[in-house]
Amino acid sequence: MTADVGERVTDAELVAGYRRNPELFTAVHDRYFRDIYLYVAGRLDIQVAEDITAETFLLAFDRRDRFDPERGGLRPWLFGFATNLVARHRRKEARHYRALAQLPPESAVEGHENRVVTSVAAQRMQPHLAKALAALTSGERDVLLLVALAQLSYDEVAQALGISTGTVGSRLSRARAKIHALIDKETVHE
């Protein structure tokens, strides 16, 4: 798997090399880490992106013998792992919000979600807001939290998520409307 300087080794050559010597899988990591990391960081926060990206390559290494070059390249194969891990993380995050919604208002839970909840509404509103956040689509929740928690501009949110500024605005508008409707519905029943 050696190539002349400037000559790029193909994915098929990488696969053939790491099948003979698993240590050569590091070349896959070196080639695609940045792409995967930027993708995950665009969908989640930077700290989580590091973990998800590392887990992506760990899964790929564990399943390296299952890779079939006839079905496509290494890059989309890795993006598949990353996308599934992001989805798993988001499901876990939604479960977390649902659990927060079950807490009595006087129960303080440390973490960035609680700081968002506390800054957006009074302490008594926390269960209602957490329930409302759990009801949003992941895209709406991502936009809302990037604006509220990270205090990103619409342009920065668009860049982070790889969407247009108009989409940021419409998702944020839908998220706000849903949250207001759900909170109004919840507080009427108190």
Domain 11-90 fold: Rna Polymerase Sigma Factor; Chain: A (1.10.1740)
Residue-wise pLDDT tens digits, 18-74: 888 989 899 999 999 999 999 898 888 788 999 999 999 999 999 998 988 888 788
Helix/strand/coil (H, E, C) string of 100-167?
HHHCCCCCCCCCHHHHHHHHHCCHHHHHHHHHHHHHCCHHHHHHHHHHHCCCCCHHHHHHHHCCCHHH
Region of 72 on the Ramachandran plot (φ > 0 left; ψ -120 to 50 alpha; else beta): left
Domain 109-188 fold: Arc Repressor Mutant, subunit A (1.10.10)
Residue-wise pLDDT tens digits, 131-174: 888 888 988 988 888 787 777 788 888 877 788 999 999 999 99
Cα separation of 86 and 185, whole Å? 31
Domain with CATH 1.10.10.10 in the chain: 109-188
Structure-block tokens of residue 187: 């507080």
> Taking every pair of C-alpha atoms in the chain, what is the biggest distance, in angstroms?
72
Domain with CATH 1.10.1740.10 in the chain: 11-90
Residue-wise pLDDT tens digits, 11-20: 888 888 888 8
Rounded to two decimals, the pTM is 0.52
Residue-wise pLDDT tens digits, 86-122: 989 988 888 877 777 777 655 555 566 655 555 554 4
